[in-house]
Chain A
């Protein structure tokens, strides 16, 4: 009874649970503050800006849906940039498939697998700007190694202007993007492969399951979290490939390699249309949100299970 009385007498701030919660809050506070200041508030301000006419030196006034109307019904570049962004995203599965093939190889008894793993991963830590410059030179029409190799092997008669051609520019940039991110995908998938218990394969072998069936029935299902993590990373990369495109083609020729992110930049800083750029950003954010949600659902809502 005396103990109960003393418990009842404890003020709310003296309770163990409160102290624990306060501790958690104290740990979270710095991150949350940064998140709110540098993510949430700009996002909200961007949303407001997309409904206004605004430039750094002119007072803002209400624009309603004017920017969205312009974007959806009059701006061909927006649609081109959106299409290109979706093509960029669609290229991710190919990169993941390629990375999976490499991961399977380096996970096997292949001689020197560790070296191959390092070589493939080397591209990932490179700065994207450096990757862009390297590939720009490799694609060069006059002195690029790719044209040189193709001509020397007799595959082409005249050099291909990879980055100046409307047809070749986007695939060329996508190849560079895949090359850079391949190592990262490979490491994620390799980790996934190595976490699959070996006894499952042994049991399947005893049951006489061919290797193809083992891959379909054991490897792929158990790799699902890793595959979808790669898919989400690929999705985010596709939306943020600004530096690579900016360095390699600056969105050209015409708008053949324009992505939403490069178009946002050009509208804002090239044409001083920050309000319109804000509307473009909202469209991009909405698309990203929808695709990330879809990918997460497809993964059984457990993307990131590896971290747990």
Chain B
């Protein structure tokens, strides 16, 4: 009788344990690892990104990826609030120097040890572009898709003005701007945000900061002269004043209108111009480097939030996106990615299929050692705020170049001091 009771109890216990084990085992085994992926205004690429997620999930069973896309102006506010809440997205896509600011705040994972451990991954990328996201020698982001400034010019306007080709120096640039200016036409336009105008100073040997980024070096006689010449050209109409007041739509829209000689902008501007200007084609749109080959990058990078709960998985996703993903992104969006092998392959196809886009993207891969305006600062936006309004005043003739640069120097020094 007793034996029978024990046996029943044991049976019940064993049954309970087995049932619990049966119920728990699949749950533990299938506990999904989650990644969140924040992109910057590429909602139009939804099918492609969903495809990435599906393919990555197939290789990493049980991994769930939540994809979020935000427009440019929304990203900083969104990311900062997520940081404050302690729930930042695992993988983040930023543009320009924003990634360095986040790195400086301690928001991003230092990718240097991983890049050192995996030389093949490091060597995928154009080293000059990769170095754009290095702060104090540590790398925080990988190239996602890359851009830098170049010079677009209106060939028919150049022809009418008797100009044989794009300018090769600052003086030639101003002269060309002058010669293409007419009653309803201006000679030159530049984008001005994120230091994109800086090649105009770099081609004159002006630098914003010393090499150690500790002191300002821009307030020189040469910088004053360059500013005065730009202001004079603006006053005369040779440089369209939208250069110093517009942001993206206005200058690109004005150039697309077909009555501006040159546009100094980064490569994505082409797609805007093409969309708005029915005159734009391989025979009419000239593409060149700015004089001296100087250009300011404004690329998109991918980083991992330091607070990520799955940094290893996020790293795997980063490697996937910047390789297989890059291939697809490059083809879909007709852009270059900074992944040398991918770009070489895509460019070969583009040379055949779309020579104009090929010519534009080719500039993005050349003279990468002459990228300027990409100081590795943790407070780049504050520095821009300190410098740009003063320069803008001088360029628009509201104050003289000398006093504007002196004021800018005072403000930049203040920012450098405050860090």
- The interface of chain A, by Cβ under 8 A from chain B, is 55-58, 70, 74, 76-77, 142, 161, 164-166, 250, 252-255, 266, 268-274
Contact = CB atoms under 8 A, between A and B. Distances in A.
B126 interface: no
B389 A269 contact: no
B381 A271 contact: yes
B389 A272 contact: no
A130 B254 CA distance: 24
B107 A56 contact: yes
Given A166-B398, A254-B389, A254-B393, A58 B105 contact: yes
Contacts of B101: 272
Contacts of B414: 74
B392 interface: yes
B389 A164 contact: no
Contacts of A76: 411
Contacts, number: 61
Nearest to A253: B245
Contacts of B77: 269
B389 A255 contact: yes
A55 B76 CA distance: 13
A57 B393 contact: no
A3 to B, nearest CB: 61
B396 A161 contact: no
B106 interface: yes
24 contacts: A56-B107, A57-B83, A57-B107, A77-B389, A142-B254, A142-B257, A161-B242, A164-B241, A164-B246, A164-B250, A166-B396, A253-B244, A253-B392, A253-B396, A254-B393, A269-B76, A269-B80, A270-B385, A271-B381, A271-B382, A271-B385, A272-B101, A272-B105, A272-B381
B418 interface: yes
B106 A58 contact: yes
A239 to B, nearest CB: 20
Contacts of A274: 80
A271 B385 CA distance: 9
B106 A77 contact: no
A161 B243 CA distance: 13
Contacts of B80: 56, 268-269, 272, 274
A161 B250 CA distance: 11
B28 interface: no
Contacts of B418: 70
Nearest to B76: A269
B379 interface: yes
A270 B76 contact: yes
B84 interface: yes
Contacts of B385: 77, 266, 270-271
Contacts of B392: 253-254
Contacts of B398: 166
Interface string B374-390: 00000101100100010
A273 B241 CA distance: 31
A161 B186 CA distance: 15
Interface in B370-419: 379, 381-382, 385, 389, 392-393, 396, 398, 411, 414, 418
Interface residues of B, number: 32
6 nearest A-B pairs in the assembled complex, by CB-CB distance: A164-B245, A56-B83, A56-B84, A254-B389, A269-B77, A57-B106
Nearest to B104: A272
Contacts of B393: 254
Interface string B63-84: 0000000000000110010011
A161 B76 contact: no
Interface string B242-262: 101111001001100100000
B343 to A, nearest CB: 32
Contacts of B250: 164
B305 to A, nearest CB: 10
A271 B379 contact: yes
Nearest to A273: B382
Given A70-B418, A271-B381, A273-B382, A56 B105 contact: yes
Given A269-B80, A271-B385, A161 B241 contact: yes
A271 B98 CA distance: 9
A266 B381 CA distance: 10
A272 B101 CA distance: 8
Nearest to A166: B398
A250 B306 CA distance: 31
Contact of B381 (A70, A161, A250, A270): A270
Nearest to B74: A269
Nearest to A163: B245
B82 to A, nearest CB: 9
A165 B393 CA distance: 11
Contacts of A253: 244-245, 392, 396
A252 B388 CA distance: 11
- Most chain A CB atoms below 10 A, which of B107, B253, B389, B398: B389
Contacts of B244: 253
A59 B344 CA distance: 46
Contacts of A269: 76-77, 80
Nearest to A246: B73
Contacts of A164: 241-242, 245-246, 250
A142 B105 CA distance: 42
B83 A252 contact: no
Nearest to A167: B398
A161 to B, nearest CB: 7
Most A C-beta atoms less than 10 A away, residue of B245, B253, B411: B245
A271 B386 CA distance: 11
A274 B414 CA distance: 18
Contacts of A58: 105-106
B10 to A, nearest CB: 55
B408 to A, nearest CB: 11
Interface in B209-254: 241-242, 244-247, 250, 253-254
Nearest to B254: A142
B19 to A, nearest CB: 45
Interface string B92-124: 000000000100011100000000000000000
B90 to A, nearest CB: 15
